[in-house]
Amino acid sequence: MLENKEDWKPLREFIAEVWKLKILLDQWSHVLPAEAVAALASVNKQLEAAVGMLPVRCTARFVPQAWINDYAVEVDGAKEFDITAEVEVLGKEESLLLRDDDYCSDNMVSLYKVAEAENHSGPYRVELQQSIRDYWDYWEEP
């Protein structure tokens, strides 16, 4: 493991660039040739491997809810998912603007294709603020 946190910067930059490529391939997969779509699987594996090497990750939590007496109430099936790559792309300043249970944080569910969300038809919330703060605090600690 690298001792100096600054030594992790190239890997973190790589993760951000690969994530941008993955998003681009996802958006255009319906018009790309089959070879390009197949490349997406390779990109996903590289991204997962790179993120797995980091000493810390940033996660969000999908929390399904159901309407009970006009109140959104938490139900079973909460799922944590890794948002490290998106946080790296956004950078510290922009990612710290994300809020729990907000339109932008809700978009993380579709961006990361959280399977539990695809099978859930009711309300939900996404929790990520504390994880983002902890992630950036780790990289800034001496």
User: In one letter, which amino acid is 83?
Assistant: I
User: Do residues 126 and 106 lie in contact, with contact meaning Cβ atoms separated by under 8 Å?
Assistant: yes
Whether residue 1 has pLDDT greater than 70? no
Residue bearing tokens 């907000």: 102
Exposed e or buried b per residue across 76-113, where buried means at least 16 C-beta atoms within 10 angstroms of its C-beta: eeebebbbbbbbbbbeeeebeebeeeeeebeebbebbe
pLDDT (0 to 100) of residue 2: 73
71-128 residue pLDDT tens: 999 998 899 999 999 999 999 999 999 999 999 898 888 888 888 888 888 999 999 9
